[in-house]
């Protein structure tokens, strides 16, 4: 019976690790801001976090099967992670309405992010 408690603990640990990884991933996206005036919180950052965390769940389930013995639970978790990750992916269709909503790089982009600026130059005065 202790063996079953250990196995259930693997799923609880997976939930905790996924939440912690998601929070860390989301916060790391703010590393490149210049200051509070450059702070911009948007839904795309949440999508990107989900797109990074969901594959980690798949990898953990696949790599550490001994911690996750329930085939039914594993199948449900894997299917859920794949569906959530797919739902967070941007629509690749080149329709004009979607393109108008994609943010473009401008002068407020951090140094090194503007492809129009050659190496060694800055895009700021």
Mean of the per-residue pLDDT values for the chain? Answer: 75
Task: Report residue 81 as tokens.
Answer: 């992670």
Q: Is residue 52 part of a domain?
A: yes
Residue-range definition of the domain harbouring residue 73? 2-30+41-90
Q: Is residue 101 part of a domain?
A: no
CB 7 within 8 A of CB 70: yes
As a whole number of angstroms, the distance between CA 52 and CA 43 comes to: 15
Q: Quickly list H helices, the chain.
A: 2-28, 43-63, 71-88, 96-101
Q: Is residue 70 part of a domain?
A: yes
- Reference 20, options 45, 47, 57; nearest CA is 57
pLDDT at 26 over 50: yes
Q: Is residue 78 part of a domain?
A: yes
pLDDT at 74 over 80: yes
Task: Name which residue leads in pLDDT, 27 or 102.
Answer: 27
Domains identified in the chain, total number: 1
Is pTM, for the whole model, over 0.95? no
Q: Is residue 63 part of a domain?
A: yes
């Amino acid at each position: 019976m202790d063996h079953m408690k250990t196995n259930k603990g693997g799923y609880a640990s997976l939930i905790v690790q996924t939440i912690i990884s998601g929070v860390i991933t989301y916060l790391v996206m703010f590393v490149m801001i210049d200051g509070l005036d450059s702070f911009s919180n948007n839904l795309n950052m949440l999508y990107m976090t989900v797109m990074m965390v969901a594959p980690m769940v798949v990898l953990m389930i696949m790599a550490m099967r001994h911690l996750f013995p329930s085939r039914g639970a594993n199948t449900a978790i894997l299917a859920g992670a794949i569906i959530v990750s797919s739902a967070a992916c941007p629509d690749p269709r080149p329709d004009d309405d979607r393109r108008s909503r994609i943010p473009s790089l401008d002068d407020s982009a951090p140094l090194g992010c503007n492809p129009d600026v050659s190496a060694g130059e800055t895009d700021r005065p």
